[in-house]
Structure 1
Amino acid sequence: MKNLTNLIKPYLVIAFALILATSCKEAGQTTTISPELDEYKKKIEGYEKEITELKELLDLEKNRKEPTNIIQSDFAKEIYHQYDERAALINKVVGTDGNGNPFNATRYLSYDLDQLKSYIKYIESKSRKAGVKPTGVNFYFALYPKDYVRDDKKDYAKRQTFFVAPTYSKTDDGETAHIAYTLDNDFKIVDLHKLLEVRIAAQKAGFFSSSASLIEDNSLVGNELGGSPPMDK
């Protein structure tokens, strides 16, 4: 709170200076925005950003809970290498990547933190309009098709990825389930599991190809949040 007060003081001083300059102009004096006032304006914008960030930190600290899913690095190393044999099998089965080079299975995905925060705010905002409260997110393993192109390159073709979707809670006969969902263009909730099953059935029946897609203004399904997956090396 002391830090917040210290930030507000210079903000008030600069604001007073701008008010004084505006008053002089209204009094009939011909004035132009001086470099000093322009600098003050930039400082105010900077202070506003710092105050917002500090408030967010204070809110996080106030509501902070210790996570219960932290594992030790030794165990992380153990389970990481448990995947080695499967990765080698994937490399053998897939054969080559989109560029014709020996395939290296994806071993991790890297997501940008700001992109993740932006995604969370996005699903919260869209869901609020739909009258539903997100309770969490589901992660779905997926695979890019062999003809997948990103940035005019086939580096990610055939490569493993995952997409995420929010969940909401639904209680039926005393049992609570967390259901993955997206929204249609009218902000109506769509059960994502049912949507995926219907799409798979339609593809098998030959109704449309895997590259076909519908325009969804309110889709909540996220992928490529900051560039994923990276190359094996």
Structure 2
Amino acid sequence: MKHRLVTATSAVIWMLLLLAAGCKPDSSEQQTREATEKVVPPKQLISLETAREYYQNYGTRRVPLIRRYEDSVSQATNPEGKPFDVARYVSFDYQVLKEYMAFIEQEAARVNTDIHSLRIYFATYPDAAGRTHPRQNSVFLLPAVEMEGKQWGLFIDGDRPGYLNGGLEVYQGPPRAEASMVPVPPQQGRGGSLILNEGQSSPPPYQ
């Protein structure tokens, strides 16, 4: 009786070991699963050659116009000044961008809305004393939501979503018609704003 009990116990142990071995995925299955989890490149990626073309187009069609205008403005006060440096790119710290994305998603969820897109506005800093890059071009980022087939810039109005049209005018009430837009003085401080700026802009390297 004891011998049969030992034999049955051994058989059960062997069966469990075989089942465990069968449940363990082999390396090929694991590699297949990892391959399917890779992020697919977005369709909006452009080639390096295309990016160079766009960059050169801006340098040919926009940079001289901006420099000529800014130089003409500064001639009255500083006729011997060096030519104006036109910004060619704006960079943001990667960690700051990750924190920004997490923050705007958090704030949108808090007011029960979803971010549909991210606007990148062109901007120019004022000619103000104390600015590191006065009159320099820049960009700022603004999340936008979609409602009734249109997109609206998002800010937080207390515990509710607030809406901005393309010109950053605040909409009073449910977004239905552009005619209802009224200019509102900008908010004091950063309360409610979801707009990111203060990146690092730079002209191209001098040859």
Structure 2 CA distance for partners of 1:146 and 1:79, relative to 1, 3 Å: same
Residue pair 1:168, 1:180 contacting (<8 A) in 2 also: yes
Q: Does 1:91 align with 2:91?
A: no
Find the residue that maps to 1:166 and give its secondary structure. Answer: strand
1:132 aligned onto 2:113: yes
Distance 1:191 1:229, change over 3 A: same
Any stretches of 5+ residues in structure 2 without a counterpart? 1-32, 171-181
Deviations 1:149-199, CA, capped at 9 Å, x for gaps: 3xxxx331101111111111213xxxx223221112x1322222277246x
Kindly report the root-mean-square deviation, in angstroms, between the aligned alpha carbons of the 2 structures.
Answer: 3.0
TM-score (norm 1): 0.57
List aligned pairs for 1:1-233, cutoff 5 A. 62=37, 64-85=39-60, 86-95=62-71, 96=74, 101-147=82-128, 149=130, 154-171=131-148, 176-184=149-157, 186-193=158-165, 196-197=168-169, 214-224=188-198, 227-233=199-205
**C-alpha contact (below 8 Å) 1:187/1:218 kept by paired residues:** no
| More helix, by proportion | 1
- Structure-1 separation of matches of 2:89 and 2:112: 35
Q: Which amino acid aligns with 1:187?
A: D
Q: For residue 180 of structure 1, what is the amino acid of its counterpart?
A: G
Once the 2 structures are TM-superposed, how far is the Cα of residue 223 of structure 1 from its aligned partner?
A: 0.6
Q: Following the alignment from structure 1 to structure 2, what is the Cα–Cα distance between the partners of residues 148 and 168?
A: 36
* Paired letter, 1:144: Y
AA aligned to 1:65 is V
Q: Structure 1 residue runs of 4+, over 6 Å off?
A: none
In the TM superposition, residue 68 of structure 1 has moved relative to its aligned partner by 0.6
Who is 1:27 aligned against? none
Q: Evaluate the alpha carbon distance shift between residue 63 and residue 72 of structure 1 in structure 2; reply closer, same or farther with a 3 A threshold.
A: closer
Larger Rg over CA atoms: 2
- For residues 39 and 87 of structure 2, what CA distance do their matches in structure 1 show? 33
Cα gap change, 1:216/1:195 in structure 2, threshold over 3 Å: closer, same or farther?
farther
Identity over aligned pairs, percent? 25
Higher strand share goes to which structure?
Answer: 2
The 1-side partners of 2:110 and 2:139 are apart by 26
The total of aligned residue pairs comes to 154
Counterpart Cα distance in 1 of 2:120 and 2:105: 17
Any gaps of 5 or more consecutive residues in structure 1? Answer: 1-57
Distance 2:86 2:203 in 1: 8
